[in-house]
Amino acid sequence: MTQIIFLVFSETATNEIKTVCERVHGFFLDRKKVFIHCASEKLAHEVDEILWNFDTDKFVPHHILGEGPNPPPPVQISEAPAPLHQRDVLVNLTENMPQTPERFKFIVEIVPSDEKMRENARERFRNYRQKGYNPVTENLD
């Protein structure tokens, strides 16, 4: 069954997206294929820029969906839903629960410092539970 983790950021957290990108680097080191689903094209480009600006020893091969080579690199980014080809990990940076969470082995959700977005994350947490998943939380600074 799909494992789901909610990364809970403190109310004083900064650089939440950079922290998520560092987690993506860990997945890459574990040889996982990752899809980062962004809430907007602007956010997709922000994630892309953060990944490009990692130190060379932390380079993560990635591209924005539709802009890169074929076959795709291990990490793809888009505001569009995940493509049908297999990805191990979904990093969900949207306000919506994925329609087919079972397609992924692992899903990362974020609970940002913004209160409105936190409530939305709580709703997704409840929805996962209602669908029979057992999401867990990890508190971050």
Indicate the number of domains in the chain.
Answer: 1
Ranges of residues in the chain with a pLDDT under 50 are: none
| CA separation for the pair 25, 2 (Å, rounded) | 20
Q: What is the CATH number of the domain that holds 113?
A: 3.40.50.10110
In which region does residue 15 sit, left (phi positive, over 0), alpha (psi from -120 to 50) or beta (all else)? left
Condensed to tens digits (0 to 9), the pLDDT of residues 67-78 reads 877 888 999 999
Tell me what pLDDT residue 135 has. Answer: 98
Tell me what pLDDT residue 77 has. Answer: 96
Q: Which two tokens stand for residue 44?
A: 């997709």
Tell me what pLDDT residue 113 has. Answer: 85
DSSP string, 1-31: --EEEEEEE-TT---HHHHHHHHHHHHHHTT
Residue 80 belongs to domain spanning: 3-140
What's the whole-model pTM score? 0.94
Tell me what pLDDT residue 6 has. Answer: 98
